[in-house]
Structure 1
Amino acid sequence: MEARHWPDEAIQFRSCRSVDEQAALLDTWNQSYCQLSRGPFDGSVTSFMAGAVKVLVEKLNRTVHQRGHVDTRKFAVGIPFHLEGHSLLSGQASHLEALHVFSGKDGFEFLSPDQHVFVNLEIEPAAVADATARAQLESIIARIGAKSGVVNIDPTRLEPFREVLRVLLDSVAGAPRVLANRDSVASFEKSIVYGLGEALDDFPHGAQHERGEARIARNWQLVRSVRDIVEGSPDCPLSVAELCVRMHASRRTLQYAFEETTGISPLAYMRAVRLAGVRKDLVHAASVTEVATRWGFWHFGNFACEYREQFGELPSETWRRHRNPPAMPYWA
C-alpha cells in the first residue's frame, strides 16, 4: 500500500493493491469488500478532516460487493464523479445522477462497478460549528430519511454541487494548512451543508418505480443471504445445486436474482467470495495449500489460474509478500 502525506499530514493518500486494504481505510464505516470482477485491483483513498466533515475520495477499478455500517451519530453521503456499469445501493439502482446515502441504523450494501470514483462525506451533525448550518443539516437528514439508499435528484442541481466539491477539494489540496484555521474550517462546513441543501431543493424528484425496486430489493436480499452462507464458513456450497437446496430456491430463481443484482451468475459469485476468503486468509497462513483446501479448492493448477485471473498475481506471490513486506518510503 502506497502512502503519501501532504504538509503536516492534513491530507492523507493511500493506494491499495487489494480490496481488504482499501476497506480498512474507511475505518469508521466498518467495511468489508469482496472483489467480483477479475484482474489486478488498483484503488485509492484520499482523506482529510475539516471540522465536523470527513472527506473520503475513493477510486476503484474492479466490481466490488461492499458491506458496511456507519456510526449512527454520523451522516454519510457519496457523490459519484465517475460511475460506469451495473451498480446497486441497498437494493436500489445506483447511477451517476444521484446522491448515495450510506448512513442508517441498518447499514448498507453497495455493488460498485469497475469504473468508480466517489467523493464521500461523513458528517457529525452535533459537531457542526455554525448553529444555522447545523439546523439545515438536520433538516436535510430528516427529509432524506434514516436509512441507506439512492436519492434521485435533478442533474441540473447535482452538477453545481459537484462543482462546489471540486473547488473545495482543489483549494484544500493547494493549501492544506487552511484545515488548521478555525474560520476556514467553519466556512468549509457551511459550503458543504448549504451546497447539499441546494442540490436537494426540490427533492423528491421524478417518479419512483416502486414495483421494480421492490423486486430488485427482494433479489438483493437473496444475494445477501447467499453471501452470508458462503462467507460464514469455508464449509460453504461448492455448486449451484447445493446452494439451491440450502436456500430452498430453484436454479432459475437464483440465476435471475444474481444476474439482475450483481450482473454475474451464482457460481461466479460464489467463486469470487471464496477466492476473497483465500486472499484474506493468506496473510496469516502457514501455507497456500492449507488455505486453498480450506476454501474447497482442491485442483491446485486450476486454483492458481483462477486466483491470478481474479487478482493479477499467483497465490504464492500474495503469501510471500506478507511474509516479507517491502519497505515503503514515508514520502511516495
Structure 2
Amino acid sequence: MARSKLAIGIPFQLEGHALLCGQTSHRDGLHVFSGDGGFEFLSPDKHVVVNLEIEPGAIGDELVRSQVDEITSLLGAKPGVLNIDPARLQGFRAVLKQLLDAVAATPTLLDDVGVAASFEKSVIFGLAETLQGMQDVDPHGSVEARTARNWQLVRGIREVVEESPDCPLSVAELCARFHASRRTLQYAFEDTLGVNPSAYIRAVRLDHVRRELRGAASVTEVATRWGFWHFGNFSNEYRGQFGELPSETWRRSRVRAG
C-alpha cells in the first residue's frame, strides 16, 4: 500500500546528542519520519530542521508524481536516518534556503499558480536528485555510435524544451522526462553542443522570463515562476544574457504599454 504522506527532515543545524529510531542523528543524514511503525526522535539541544511533508495523492502533474513514487522507494519502508553524500545534501539545503527566503520575503508569491508549481518542482526534483547516485555512461560501443546517440538525445531535448511552454526548471526534471542520468546528459551536451545541460536550460528559461516580463505584474513573480529563486544570481545571469537588468526590461515594457 502506498503511503498517504511522506515526511522528511533536512538538518540545517544539529549540535548535541540525537537519535532517530535508535540511529545516530547527524547533519549529513536525511531524516525520514514517515513509514511503518511510527518514529521516536530524541532531538539535540540545538537543532534546526526543515521538515517536508509530501502528499502523493494531491500532486496533479504526472511527471512530478512519478518522481514522488521514486522518492518513496528510495526512502524505504521505515523511519530512520539515511546517510547522504554531504555535497549533494548541502546543494539541496541551498535550494531550500533560496525557496524559503523568497517566500518569507514575499508571502503572496505562492498565490500565483505558476510560482507554486515551480516551488513544488524545485523541492521534489531537488530531493529526488539528492537521493539518487550518478550513473556512468555506458562505455561500450564505438565513438561514432556514442556520438550518434548523444546527438539524438540532445536533438530530442531541444525540440521539447524550446517548443514547449512547460520548460523543465532543472537538470533533474530533464533527466526524469528523458529517463537519462545526469552524467549521460552531461556527456551528450558537451559532446554535441559544447555546453553543459544546466547552462542550456538556464538560457532557455531566461528567454521565457524575458518574454513574460512584457505583461507581468512584477519581476519577482516571473522569475520564481521559471525557477529563479535567488534574485541576486538571477539578475546577474539575466544581464549576462541580455545586457540589461530584468527590472530595466520590465520598466521599458510598462512605459510602452502606457
Report the TM-score when normalising by structure 1: 0.39
Q: Which structure has greater helix proportion?
A: 2
Report the TM-score when normalising by structure 2: 0.50
Q: Which structure has greater strand proportion?
A: 1
